[in-house]
């Protein structure tokens, strides 16, 4: 695992993300995937990340709740409750984790579920904490079982049991650790075991952003990157950003390339449209994976219901990628529904492809085509 660092928290986080092999290599390549950023992108993301709560755009409710939590803790001079952040990739989980440490004036220690292979790795981090430190565990649903169990005790009693020796002679030596705040992030809150979930005093779910919020985010990023962005250009990028700040920033950079190479560098609506067409981002912001998933659902499975794994095989992707990256946006956009029997396309999905949904079976004429 990466040795935890006490300095350069932001930079360290950019590195920590690299350890989470959540998604396929192809996934990393895809322009409009909200998946983990590539190494280069991580550096730029670091520069574009809001550093304080007041700088955060959107997520108003989470921001306000967090601000109360942090303010309260600061007044009492105690570490706040542990915080769980969940939501699809690219919506700001890592950003909020860093902001929490900054607002508390606390040291930030960053690691991730996959980086902690043994309970000892976690013990090494926890036993060297200073009072009030913030520990960020990204992809916390991927934590190995023994580490997870060690975390229960640490979160609740600020104690770890260090096992010394092997076999029947092994003894667990309890070790007190400094009161700390755990910030966990996950794209799959449903996978967290209840005992772990219950130990978080504060849980926030990040949802997709409104176009108006993305508009502000794109303008802010353009300022920071020195991109000449016109209002109508910002609007166009925001609208096609799939509700995701990471994608908004990514599209902005691609559109800037296009503007510099094919035009005078100014991003207008017409230019943004031309560039985004080239990069296969459609009007609704659906990317290739979204369209592949939806297209398979509609054309190959007659609108469903179809199981997640079958659908994933049909588009040649990991089930987790389809579930974590594509589905939340399709569901939220009213294009797909998750039912107990499987995934189904909504009428809007058919319309997206210019098709008419088949008659629901209940309405079919007896003895007719659908019998
Ligand atoms: N609320 C926000 N306001 C402005 N920019 C944001 C916001 N949330 C995220 N971003 C931008 O999106 C990028 C991805 O956010 P990040 O926190 O890494 O997402 P996650 O950890 O959920 O995948 C960040 O680098 C930041 O520039
Ligand atoms: Mg992250």
pLDDT score for 32:
47
310 is known as an active-site residue = no
Collect residues with CB below 5 Å from ion ligand 2.
93-94
pLDDT score for 200:
97
pLDDT score for 26:
43
Which structure tokens are listed for 114? 């996959």
pLDDT score for 2:
46
From the list 63, 50, 62, the residue with the least C-alpha distance to 205 is 62
* Selected catalytic residue, list 42, 95, 109, 138: 138
Return the ligand 1 atom nearest residue 44 CA: 25
CATH architecture under which domain 9-205 falls: 3-Layer(aba) Sandwich (3.40)
Strands 134-138 and 159-164: unpaired
| DSSP-assigned states of every residue in 149-195 | HHHHHHHHHSEEEEEESSGGG-EEEEEE----EEEEEES-GGGS-HH
Return the ligand 1 atom nearest residue 45 CA: 25
Return the ligand 1 atom nearest residue 59 CA: 1
pLDDT score for 39:
74
Q: For the chain, give every domain's residue range.
A: 9-205, 211-278, 288-362
Q: How many whole angstroms from 90 Cα to the centroid of ligand 1?
A: 6
Give dist(CA 87, CA 358) in Å, integer. Answer: 33
Q: What is the pTM of this model?
A: 0.85
Neighbouring CB atoms inside 10 A of 76's CB total 9
Residues 240, 209: contact at Cβ < 8 Å? no
Within the chain, what is the greatest distance between any pair of CA atoms?
A: 75
Contacts of 362 (CB under 8 A, 6+ apart): none
Q: Which pLDDT tens digit goes with each residue over 278-326? A: 888 888 889 889 999 999 999 999 998 999 999 999 999 999 999 999 9
Residue located nearest, by CA, to atom 16 of ligand 1: 92
Find the residues whose C-beta lies inside 6 A of ligand 1.
45, 48-50, 56-59, 89-95, 217, 245-246, 249
CATH 3.90.650.10 fits 288-362, yes or no: no
pLDDT score for 37:
64
138 is known as an active-site residue = yes
C-alpha to C-alpha distances, 196 to 7, 30, 141, 311, nearest whole angstrom: 28, 33, 10, 31
Strand partners, 175: 160
From the list 27, 20, 12, the residue with the least C-alpha distance to 292 is 27
Q: How many whole angstroms from 129 Cα to the centroid of ligand 1?
A: 27
Fold of 211-278: Helicase, Ruva Protein; domain 3 (1.10.8)
Q: How many whole angstroms from 289 Cα to the centroid of ligand 1?
A: 21
From the list 193, 118, 197, 130, the residue with the least C-alpha distance to 158 is 130
Strand partners, 306: 343
Q: Which ligand is nearest to the CA of 245?
A: 1
Q: Which ligand is nearest to the CA of 112?
A: 2
187 is known as an active-site residue = yes
pLDDT score for 335:
96
* Selected catalytic residue, list 187, 244, 321, 346: 187
pLDDT score for 360:
66
Q: If 0-12 CB within 10 Å is exposed, 13-18 middle and 19+ buried, where does residue 225 land?
A: middle
Scan for tokens 């990991």, then name that residue.
Answer: 318
Give the count of alpha carbons within 13 A of 134, CB side only.
28
Q: Return the best residue to mutate from 49, 55, 136 for the ligand 1 pocket (most ligand atoms within 8 A of CB).
A: 49
Neighbouring CB atoms inside 10 A of 149's CB total 17
* Selected catalytic residue, list 49, 93, 250, 288: 93
pLDDT score for 36:
53
Asked if the domains at 211-278 and 288-362 fall in one CATH topology, the answer is no
pLDDT score for 169:
86
Q: Which ligand is nearest to the CA of 328?
A: 1
94 is known as an active-site residue = yes
C-alpha to C-alpha distances, 202 to 19, 88, 235, nearest whole angstrom: 26, 18, 34
Residue located nearest, by CA, to atom 12 of ligand 1: 246
**What stretches in the chain show pLDDT beneath 50?**
1-29, 31-32, 363-364, 367-371
């Amino acid at each position: 695992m990466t040795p935890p660092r006490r300095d350069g928290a932001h930079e360290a986080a950019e590195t920590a993300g690299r350890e989470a092999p959540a998604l396929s290599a192809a996934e990393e390549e895809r322009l409009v995937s909200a998946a983990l950023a590539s190494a280069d992108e991580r550096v730029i993301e670091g520069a574009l990340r809001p550093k304080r709560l007041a700088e955060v755009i959107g997520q108003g409710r989470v921001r306000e709740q967090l601000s109360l939590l942090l303010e309260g803790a600061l007044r009492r001079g105690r570490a706040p409750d542990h915080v769980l952040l969940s939501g699809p990739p690219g919506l700001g989980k890592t950003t909020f984790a860093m902001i929490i440490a900054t607002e508390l004036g606390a040291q930030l220690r960053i690691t991730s579920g996959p980086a902690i292979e043994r309970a000892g790795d976690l013990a090494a981090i926890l036993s060297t904490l200073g009072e009030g430190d913030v520990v960020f565990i990204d992809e916390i649903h991927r934590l190995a079982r023994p580490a997870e169990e060690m975390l229960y005790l640490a979160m609740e009693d600020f104690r770890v049991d260090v096992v010394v020796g092997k076999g029947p002679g092994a003894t667990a030596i309890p070790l007190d650790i400094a009161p700390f705040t755990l910030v966990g992030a996950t794209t799959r809150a449903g996978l967290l075991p209840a005992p772990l979930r219950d130990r978080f005093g504060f849980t926030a779910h990040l949802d997709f952003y409104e176009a108006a919020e993305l508009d502000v985010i794109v303008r802010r990023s353009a300022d920071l990157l020195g991109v000449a962005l016109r209002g109508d250009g910002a609007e166009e990028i925001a609208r096609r950003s799939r509700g995701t700040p990471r994608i908004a920033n990514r599209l902005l950079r691609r559109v800037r390339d296009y503007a510099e190479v094919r035009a005078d560098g100014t991003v207008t609506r017409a230019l943004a449209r031309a560039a985004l067409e080239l990069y296969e981002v459609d009007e609704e912001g659906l990317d290739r994976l979204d369209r592949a998933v939806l297209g398979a659902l509609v054309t190959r499975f007659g609108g469903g219901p179809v199981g997640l794994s079958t659908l994933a095989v049909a588009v040649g992707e990991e089930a987790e990628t389809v579930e974590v990256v594509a589905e939340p946006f399709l569901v939220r956009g009213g294009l797909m529904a998750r039912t107990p029997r499987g995934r189904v396309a909504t009428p809007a999905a058919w319309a997206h492809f210019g098709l008419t949904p088949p008659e629901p079976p209940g309405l079919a004429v007896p003895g007719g085509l659908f019998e």
